[in-house]
Every structure is written in structure tokens, then in C-alpha cells.
Amino acid sequence: MAETNEDIENVEAWAEVINDLLWLVPIERRAEVLALATKSEESERKKREATGVRMMATPWTEQRLESFKNSPAFRHSGAITRLQSLVVQVFVRDITNNHSAEDAAGILFAPHPYGTGSGALRDYFEDLPRS
């Protein structure tokens, strides 16, 4: 039940996932969040088009480090991590509530070829203590 290349290329499916994410954002902030994300994507797209590559490895210069320290990713790293955890919890609950236990396990613990690291969710829970 892992994602396929067809899934990854499915714009309408991605839009639905983003819509699901937006339900977690306060209504009065949704347009602002989308505008900021769109602005960031446009900036990244322009960089990709200018360089012809998706990501560039660049050395950590003092200027680049200072720029990173002033970025929202750095300034709000704690909030970002907590919100990522919220998204995982909400999506896992959605999957387990809307599928049989067997199907939910198949979906959640499938190897994800488009994921990061090992691509296996269970690999990241083994050593975590329960809180």
C-alpha cells in the first residue's frame, strides 16, 4: 500500500492533502498561511530555474548562517516541530478511524519509496519511550 509515482504526480490528491492540513489552521489564518507558502515556493522555483537544479549544496558561510538564523525555520523551530507532530497525530487518527486495523497497518507501515530515511515509519518508533 505504498505510494506510487502516479500518486506523487497526482495534483488533485496533493491538493486534498493540503486541504486536510488547512483544517488544522485557524480559519482566520488560512489565507495568510497559503499566501506565505506560495511566496516561499515561488522564490524556491525561481532559484531552481536559475540554477537548473532542485537543490544546491552550498558551503556554510557567515552570511548564509546569519540568513538561516533570521529565517522562520530557525526562529520558530520549536513551534514547527510541535505542529509537525500534530499533523502526524491527526493523519494517523484519520487513517486508523477510516480503515480496518489490518488496512491501517498496511497503509501506515508500508515502505514509502518517496519518503526520507529508510522510508519505514516503524523504524522511527522502535527506540522511543512512551510518554
pLDDT tens string 7-31: 999 999 999 999 999 999 999 999 9
pLDDT tens string 42-57: 988 888 888 876 655 5
Q: What is the mean pLDDT of residues 106-123?
A: 92
pLDDT tens string 61-95: 777 777 778 888 888 899 999 999 999 999 999 99
- Residue 9: how many other CB atoms lie within 10 Å: 9
Judged by average pLDDT, the poorest of 33-47, 54-68, 114-128 is 54-68
Which pLDDT band holds residue 58 (cuts at 50, 70, 90)?
A: low
CA atoms within 13 A on the CB side of 65: 4
Provide the 3-class DSSP secondary structure of residue 6: helix
E strand spans, 41-101: none
For the record, the C-alpha cell of 125 comes out as 518508533
Q: Are 79 and 25 in contact (CB under 8 A)?
A: no
pLDDT score at 26? 97
pLDDT score at 96? 97
DSSP letter, residue 123 = G
DSSP letter, residue 128 = P
Left if phi > 0, otherwise alpha if psi is -120 to 50, otherwise beta: which for 119? left
Which pLDDT band holds residue 127 (cuts at 50, 70, 90)?
A: confident
Whole-model pTM: value is 0.78
